[in-house]
Amino acid sequence: MSEKKELRCEVMMAEFCSLDVVVPVYNEAQCIEAFADRLRTQLTALQIPYRILFVNDGSVDDTQAKLVKLTSGDAHFAAIELSRNFGHQAAITCGLEASTADWVITMDGDGEHPPEKIAEMIAKAKEGYDLILVQRQTGQDASFFKRATSDGFYRFIGQITSTPILPGVGDFRLMNRMVVDALVSMPEYHRFLRGMVSWLGFKSAIIPYVPAKRMGGKSKYSLKKMFRLAADAIYSFSLVPIIAALISGAIFLAAAVVVGIVGLVQGAMAWVWNASLVFLLLFCTGTILLAVGSVGMYSGKAFQQVKWRPIYVVRSRTNASFKKDETK
pLDDT means per 10 residues, the chain with 328 residues, are 46 64 94 94 93 96 94 92 94 95 94 93 93 81 62 68 78 95 90 88 92 74 65 67 72 70 61 63 73 74 74 90 55
Are 240 and 160 in contact, with CB atoms under 8 Å apart?
yes
Are 291 and 245 in contact, with CB atoms under 8 Å apart?
yes
203 phi/psi in degrees, rounded to 5: -65, 120
CA gap 309, 10 in Å, rounded: 38
What pLDDT shows up at residue 85?
94
Instruction: Encode 125-162: b = buried (16+ Cβ within 10 Å), e = exposed.
Output: beeebbbbbbebeeebeeeeeeeeebeebbeebeeebe
CATH class, domain 2-237+310-326, is alpha beta
Tell me which DSSP letter residue 116 carries. Answer: G
CA gap 79, 304 in Å, rounded: 28
Instruction: List all residues 6 or more positions away from 141 whose beta carbon is below 8 Å from its beta carbon.
Output: 112, 211, 213, 214
CA gap 33, 265 in Å, rounded: 78
What pLDDT shows up at residue 161?
72
For 104, 179, 254, the CA distances from 7, given in Å and listed in that order, are 18, 17, 64
Full-model pTM: 0.74
What pLDDT shows up at residue 7?
43
Burial class (CB in 10 A: 0-12, 13-18, 19+), 183: buried
